[in-house]
């Protein structure tokens, strides 16, 4: 050890120089301290940054999904005043605007779908002239409804070229979207052929969903009839940016796009039409979008359009659900990285304390050379800050690497377009956090070190830097509070942050308690093994070695147990979670919902499902009812005028029409949480409610509810409360009654079907609807895919995280075990000098490490079981742990300290006595 020389001057510069010299002299260890802290910092940075990127890209995606910045949709054209206002916006160069119509209609495919394309273009091109005169032709009966819309059908007899009914097949329901050339503002319409604009605008043209074309045997160039027009198919739609817009029945029907200009000529618009009118706005410079301006415009529009059923949406509000989910997922990860930070901090603080202890002699010499306590404090504070800066630098580097990796992961799994960016806030945060931790956690030790008198140090009377309990307490408290605040900020919820902090603190305290108990037990055992056998000697000394180095043992036992606990908790959770997901494995997961089935159709539908290779499902009756009385008291309609939208929605929840069902037994996704579900043969009027629903309405067991079912009152008593596992994709109902109560009521049946592969769905749907036209089929495949994508990303990230945690644990463990090396070397040298054999020495250490492993594995098993159960309950997944998992934890915890310890000390064992003596000095 080269004793640092006395600085030439005691000014700040000298101190800094001295600090730098010490830093450089021990650069290896400084690197370790910095790395320990950098891991957690890196994680936090990466996650924060990733979350920002995802949020940003979701906003961009929301633009794409709306194909605009602001969308105004209403059942009528916008009032002239608003139209003028929008035009002004355009004139001012602020916004582009585009109009769009969305409505359901019936499209008739040609009788010979595969008619040679050459035979029809002429009829198409001749169309415009034929449809110029309006006439009343579509009224089948003496309707009293005046019709003012143009229709060319009247002309069909006279004009042989106009599309006649006879040349077309039965019409099918489609979802029409009429667009202007500016469409789409964001995103891209993917078609085959790619250049869809060619021959589209200004022509009698249309584009169809590929699925529709395939189902009907249509090709590009074919002519279909829409309203009174014959339209030539110019392209097939492969993907549409703003697909999800438009509601009602049309939303489920295949898309057909037509030019905005010919929409009016189809004869489908006008009096009695049910059309959604859209106006889309796009800022002139999307790169530099002023969110406040968008909010302003939106507000103004809302104020102008005091017409009900007009919706004004800004892209910033779109997709709140996904954003919310991501936010929450991110919070989970931020919590995990906070834990990594905590682990690193513990490792760093423990090893820095050891280091400072070793520095006592140097301090004594420096003090003798005339440095005051203040200088010593400044010196080591600077050293800590130096470690912090290095840690911040490493953390930032790691953060950048991790977020780049995470970015590509998320990009692949969630199909998000992410842009890489690094906000300066994160750079600050990285350095700030690292410096704060290295300084804050060691401040008390540094102060105590500085306060020691040189005499105390040099006389050797003080073997360790004395740490006051009070300093430890305050440091712990500050850490706790800081952690809580950080967690609460990340979660945007004091409660969640508190829950997390408390769980974690509880876990740490529990670990500490177990460890203290175990160490006590070890001391007791060591005291009792006094026999002369070599085994007893080894056991006694191994245990004594562990027990006597109390502070060091506590530190690494704590670091080890917390680390392994976290890793195994994560793993248990991950496996519980994967087990959950597997219950709803893709092949078994229902992907179709059938609704509006009539009872007499059940057998036939089951047969069709069987024909398509599906498993015939259970059909659940659905009875529409309205809640009229609770506990015999009539529900009053409240005056809601002027009430907030939310209040109205809440009120509607009570008044709205409910879907009830009746059944004899629960399905596999239902669990009764209180009360008792009726026996299969119950003839009473009993009700079972879903838990959340019951809570929302403030209902409990014993309450009565009266429903009005098409005029008939049906009353029952609540006898049980259930929870439902919605992931099952089984049809489930908030309100279930006994068959006695409902079986005669008007009802339809619904069911969910798993039909794989999804390519069968289209033919299945056709087969089903041909025979049972009243049955509606809802394809959940896409939504399921989306959910699976998110879950997949989540699982993958969890796995990566668990591995990284393991790596951190190993790293910190190696460092912590290494920190007692000087003493271990000395002891090994001495024992060898006293004639102790090599293998005896190794055996003693094996006893120590195996004991550490045993303590760790027991503590880890107990604590991670507990924490896992608590967190699983919070995340609402079934907590499961298998024997294999337990064994895995046990082995990991057992072998980890042993392996690492042996590895770290291998050199010590190999070295000769003199070498160890020299090195320990």
Partner 1 sequence: MQTTTAQPTAPTATSTKEALMEVIDLHKSYLSGGRPLEILKGVSLHIYRGESIALTGASGSGKSTLLSLLAGLDRVTQGQILLRGDAMQAWDEDRLARWRREEVGFVFQDFRLVKSFTALENVSLPLEILGWDGQKARQRAEELLEHLSILPRAHHFPHQLSGGEQQRVAIARAYAHRPLLIFADEPTGNLDPETSQQVLDSLLNINDEEQTTLIMVTHDMSVAQRMKRHIPLRAGRLEEDIRSAKDEGAKA
Partner 2 sequence: MPLATILRWPLLFCLLIGTLSACKKQQPPPTAPQARPQDTPRPRPITKPQTVLFLGDSLTAGYQLAKTEAFPALIQESWQKAGKPWKTRNSGISGDTTAGVLSRLSWVLKPDVHTVFLAIGGNDGLRGTNLDSSRANLEKIITRCQKAGKTVVMAGIQLPTNYGPDYRKRFAEMYEQVAKAHKVVRMPFLLKDVAGIPALNLADGIHPNPKGHQIIAKNVLAFFQEKALFP
Q: State in angstroms the smallest separation of the CB of 133 from partner 2.
A: 15
Using CA atoms, how far residue 585 sits from 474, 582, 728, 774, in Å, is: 50, 5, 10, 30
Phi, psi of 792 (to 5 degrees): -60, -45
Nearer to partner 1, 370 or 460 (CB): 460
Nearer to partner 2, 315 or 729 (CB): 729
Contact partners, residue 796, CB within 8 Å, separation at least 6: 409, 413
Q: State in angstroms the smallest separation of the CB of 796 from partner 1.
A: 47
Q: Residues 564, 810: contact at Cβ < 8 Å?
A: no
Q: State in angstroms the smallest separation of the CB of 786 from partner 2.
A: 8
Contact partners, residue 219, CB within 8 Å, separation at least 6: 113, 114, 117, 213, 233
> From partner 2, partner 1, none, which one binds at residue 854 (CB under 5 to 8 Å depending on kind)?
none
> From partner 2, partner 1, none, which one binds at residue 622 (CB under 5 to 8 Å depending on kind)?
partner 2
Q: State in angstroms the smallest separation of the CB of 400 from partner 2.
A: 25
Max Cα distance, the chain (Å)? 121
> From partner 1, partner 2, none, which one binds at residue 353 (CB under 5 to 8 Å depending on kind)?
none
Per DSSP (E only), the strands in 274-422 are 276-283, 311-314
Q: State in angstroms the smallest separation of the CB of 542 from partner 1.
A: 13
Q: Residues 340, 40: contact at Cβ < 8 Å?
A: yes
Using CA atoms, how far residue 302 sits from 87, 98, 491, in Å, is: 17, 18, 32
> From partner 1, partner 2, none, which one binds at residue 540 (CB under 5 to 8 Å depending on kind)?
partner 1
> From partner 1, partner 2, none, which one binds at residue 790 (CB under 5 to 8 Å depending on kind)?
partner 2
DSSP conformational letter for 755: -
Q: State in angstroms the smallest separation of the CB of 461 from partner 1.
A: 7
Q: State in angstroms the smallest separation of the CB of 459 from partner 1.
A: 9
Smallest Cα–Cα separation from 828: which of 898, 915, 896? 915
Nearer to partner 2, 426 or 500 (CB): 500
Determine the number of helices (DSSP H) and then strands (DSSP E) in the chain: 27, 21
> From partner 2, partner 1, none, which one binds at residue 602 (CB under 5 to 8 Å depending on kind)?
none
Q: State in angstroms the smallest separation of the CB of 825 from partner 1.
A: 12
Nearer to partner 1, 536 or 875 (CB): 536
What number of other Cβ atoms are within 10 A of residue 49's Cβ? 24
Per DSSP (E only), the strands in 329-389 are none
Distance of CA 912 to the CA centre of its chain: 56
Q: Which residues pair with 172 in a beta bridge?
A: 107
Nearer to partner 2, 240 or 580 (CB): 580
What number of other Cβ atoms are within 10 A of residue 85's Cβ? 15
What count of Cα atoms within 13 Å lies in the side-chain half-sphere of residue 629?
14
Strand, coil or helix: 152: coil
Give the integer Cα–Cα distance in Å for 555 and 357.
15
Give the alpha-carbon dihedral of 144, 148, 151, 156, to 10 degrees.
60
Smallest Cα–Cα separation from 480: which of 461, 495, 502? 502
> From partner 1, partner 2, none, which one binds at residue 237 (CB under 5 to 8 Å depending on kind)?
none
Nearer to partner 2, 24 or 165 (CB): 165
Nearer to partner 2, 356 or 737 (CB): 737
> From partner 2, partner 1, none, which one binds at residue 871 (CB under 5 to 8 Å depending on kind)?
partner 2
> From partner 1, partner 2, none, which one binds at residue 103 (CB under 5 to 8 Å depending on kind)?
partner 2
> From partner 1, partner 2, none, which one binds at residue 232 (CB under 5 to 8 Å depending on kind)?
none
Give the integer Cα–Cα distance in Å for 820 and 44.
30
Smallest Cα–Cα separation from 205: which of 125, 316, 114? 125
Computed on alpha carbons and rounded to an integer, the radius of gyration of the chain in Å comes to: 37
Q: State in angstroms the smallest separation of the CB of 850 from partner 1.
A: 19
> From partner 2, partner 1, none, which one binds at residue 549 (CB under 5 to 8 Å depending on kind)?
partner 1
> From partner 1, partner 2, none, which one binds at residue 274 (CB under 5 to 8 Å depending on kind)?
partner 2
> From partner 2, partner 1, none, which one binds at residue 912 (CB under 5 to 8 Å depending on kind)?
partner 1
Q: State in angstroms the smallest separation of the CB of 165 from partner 2.
A: 6
> From partner 1, partner 2, none, which one binds at residue 826 (CB under 5 to 8 Å depending on kind)?
partner 1
> From partner 2, partner 1, none, which one binds at residue 835 (CB under 5 to 8 Å depending on kind)?
partner 1
Cα angle for residues 222, 172, 611 (degrees, 5° grid): 105
Q: State in angstroms the smallest separation of the CB of 455 from partner 2.
A: 57
Q: State in angstroms the smallest separation of the CB of 397 from partner 1.
A: 37
Q: State in angstroms the smallest separation of the CB of 624 from partner 2.
A: 6
Nearer to partner 1, 129 or 837 (CB): 837
Strand, coil or helix: 633: strand
Nearer to partner 1, 458 or 651 (CB): 458
Tokens of 549: 């180095």
Distance of CA 532 to the CA centre of its chain: 61
Give the integer Cα–Cα distance in Å for 384 and 167.
87
Nearer to partner 1, 668 or 921 (CB): 921
Nearer to partner 2, 268 or 526 (CB): 268
Nearer to partner 2, 270 or 675 (CB): 270
Nearer to partner 2, 168 or 909 (CB): 168
Give the alpha-carbon dihedral of 537, 542, 547, 548, to 10 degrees.
80
Using CA atoms, how far residue 766 sits from 175, 215, 532, in Å, is: 17, 9, 88
Q: State in angstroms the smallest separation of the CB of 337 from partner 1.
A: 37
* 562: exposed, middle or buried (Cβ count in 10 Å: 0-12, 13-18, 19+): buried
Nearer to partner 2, 112 or 421 (CB): 112
Smallest Cα–Cα separation from 148: which of 135, 160, 159? 135
> From partner 1, partner 2, none, which one binds at residue 460 (CB under 5 to 8 Å depending on kind)?
partner 1
Nearer to partner 2, 635 or 830 (CB): 635
Q: State in angstroms the smallest separation of the CB of 908 from partner 1.
A: 14
Nearer to partner 1, 246 or 818 (CB): 818
Q: State in angstroms the smallest separation of the CB of 445 from partner 1.
A: 18
> From partner 2, partner 1, none, which one binds at residue 836 (CB under 5 to 8 Å depending on kind)?
partner 1
Give the residues lining the site for partner 1 (CB under 8 A).
460-463, 529-534, 536-537, 540-541, 544-545, 548-549, 823, 826-827, 830-838, 840, 912-914
Nearer to partner 1, 467 or 836 (CB): 836
Q: Which residues pair with 276 in a beta bridge?
A: 102
Smallest Cα–Cα separation from 172: which of 134, 120, 138, 209? 209
Q: State in angstroms the smallest separation of the CB of 820 from partner 1.
A: 11
Smallest Cα–Cα separation from 61: which of 268, 312, 303, 316? 316
């Amino acid at each position: 050890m080269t004793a640092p020389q006395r600085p030439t001057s005691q000014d700040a510069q000298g101190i800094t120089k001295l600090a730098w010299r010490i830093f450089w002299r021990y650069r290896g260890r400084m690197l370790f301290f910095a790395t320990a802290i950098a891991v957690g910092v890196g994680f936090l940075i990466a996650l924060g940054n990733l979350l920002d990127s995802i949020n940003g890209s979701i906003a961009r995606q929301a633009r794409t999904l709306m194909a605009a910045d602001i969308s105004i949709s209403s059942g009528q054209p916008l009032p002239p005043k608003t139209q003028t206002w929008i035009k002004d916006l355009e004139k001012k160069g602020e916004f582009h605007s585009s109009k769009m119509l969305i409505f359901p209609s019936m499209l008739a495919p040609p009788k010979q779908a595969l008619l040679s394309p050459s035979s029809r273009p002429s009829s198409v091109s001749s169309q415009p002239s034929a449809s110029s005169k309006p006439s009343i032709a579509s009224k089948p009966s003496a309707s009293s409804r005046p019709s003012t819309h143009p229709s060319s059908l009247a002309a069909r007899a006279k004009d042989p070229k106009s599309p006649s009914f006879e040349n077309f097949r039965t019409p099918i329901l489609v979802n029409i979207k009429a667009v202007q050339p500016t469409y789409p503002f964001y995103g891209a319409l993917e078609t085959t052929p790619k250049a869809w604009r060619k021959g589209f605008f200004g022509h009698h043209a249309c584009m169809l969903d590929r699925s529709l074309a395939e189902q009907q045997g249509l090709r590009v160039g074919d002519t279909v009839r829409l309203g009174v027009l014959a339209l030539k198919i110019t392209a097939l739609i492969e993907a549409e940016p703003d697909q999800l817009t438009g509601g009602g029945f049309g939303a489920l029907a295949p898309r057909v796009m037509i030019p905005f200009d010919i929409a009016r000529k189809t004869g489908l618009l006008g009096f009695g039409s049910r059309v959604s009118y859209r106006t889309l706005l796009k800022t002139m410079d999307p790169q530099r979008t002023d969110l406040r301006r968008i909010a302003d415009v939106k507000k103004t529009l809302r104020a102008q359009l005091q017409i009900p059923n007009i919706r004004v949406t800004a892209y910033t509000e779109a997709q709140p659900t996904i954003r919310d989910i991501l936010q929450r997922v991110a919070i989970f990860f931020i919590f995990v990285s906070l834990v990594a930070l905590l682990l690193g901090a513990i490792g760093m603080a423990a090893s820095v304390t050891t280091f400072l202890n070793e520095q006592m002699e140097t301090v004594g010499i420096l003090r003798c050379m005339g440095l005051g306590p203040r200088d010593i404090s400044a010196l080591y504070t600077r050293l800590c800050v130096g470690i912090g800066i290095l840690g911040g630098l490493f953390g930032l580097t790691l953060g950048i690497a991790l977020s780049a990796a995470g970015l590509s992961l998320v990009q692949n799994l969630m199909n998000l377009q992410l842009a890489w960016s690094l906000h300066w806030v994160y750079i600050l945060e990285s350095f700030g956090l690292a410096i704060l931790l290295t300084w804050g956690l060691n401040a008390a030790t540094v102060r105590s070190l500085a306060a020691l008198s040189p005499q105390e140090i040099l006389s050797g009377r003080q073997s360790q830097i004395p740490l006051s309990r009070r300093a430890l307490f305050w440091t712990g408290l500050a850490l706790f509070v800081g952690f809580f605040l950080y967690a609460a900020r990340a979660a945007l919820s004091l409660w969640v942050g508190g829950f997390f902090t408390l769980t974690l603190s509880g876990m740490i305290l529990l670990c500490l308690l177990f460890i203290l108990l175990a160490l006590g037990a070890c001391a007791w055992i060591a005291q009792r093994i006094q026999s002369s056998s070599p085994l007893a000697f080894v056991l006694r000394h191994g245990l004594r070695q562990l027990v006597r180095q109390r502070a060091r043992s506590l530190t690494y036992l704590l670091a080890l147990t917390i680390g392994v606990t976290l890793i195994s908790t994560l793993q248990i959770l991950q496996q519980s979670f994967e087990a959950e997901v597997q219950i709803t494995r893709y092949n078994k997961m229902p992907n179709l919902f059938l609704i509006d089935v009539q009872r007499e159709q059940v057998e036939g539908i089951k047969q069709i499902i069987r024909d398509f290779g599906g498993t015939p499902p259970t059909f659940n009756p659905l009875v529409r009812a309205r809640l009229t009385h609770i506990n015999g008291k009539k529900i009053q309609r409240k005056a809601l005028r002027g009430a907030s939208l939310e209040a109205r929605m809440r009120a509607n929840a009570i008044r709205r029409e409910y879907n009830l069902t009746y059944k004899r037994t629960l399905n596999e996704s239902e669990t009764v949480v209180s009360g008792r579900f009726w026996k299969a043969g119950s003839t009473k009027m009993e009700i079972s409610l879903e838990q959340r629903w019951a809570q929302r309405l403030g209902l409990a067991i014993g309450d009565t509810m009266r429903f009005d079912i098409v005029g008939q009152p049906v009353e029952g008593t609540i006898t049980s409360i259930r929870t439902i596992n919605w992931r099952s994709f089984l049809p489930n109902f908030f309100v279930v009654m006994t068959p006695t109560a409902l079986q005669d009521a008007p009802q339809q049946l619904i069911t969910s079907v798993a039909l794989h592969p999804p390519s069968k769905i289209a033919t299945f749907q056709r087969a089903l609807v041909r025979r049972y036209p009243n049955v509606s089929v809802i394809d959940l495949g896409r939504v399921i895919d989306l959910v699976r994508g998110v879950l997949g990303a989540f699982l993958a990230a969890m796995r990566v995280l668990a591995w990284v945690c393991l790596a951190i644990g190993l790293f910190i463990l190696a460092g912590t075990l290494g920190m007692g090396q000087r003493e271990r070397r000395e002891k090994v040298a001495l024992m060898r000098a006293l004639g102790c054999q090599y293998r005896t020495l190794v055996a003693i250490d094996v006893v120590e490490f195996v004991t550490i492993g045993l303590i760790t594995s027991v503590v880890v098993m107990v604590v991670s079981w507990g924490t896992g159960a608590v967190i699983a309950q919070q995340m609402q997944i079934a907590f499961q742990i298998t024997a294999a998992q337990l064994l895995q934890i046990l082995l990991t915890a057992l072998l980890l300290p042993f392996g690492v310890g042996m590895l770290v000390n291998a050199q010590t064992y190999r070295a000769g006595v003199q070498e160890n003596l020299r090195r320990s000095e």
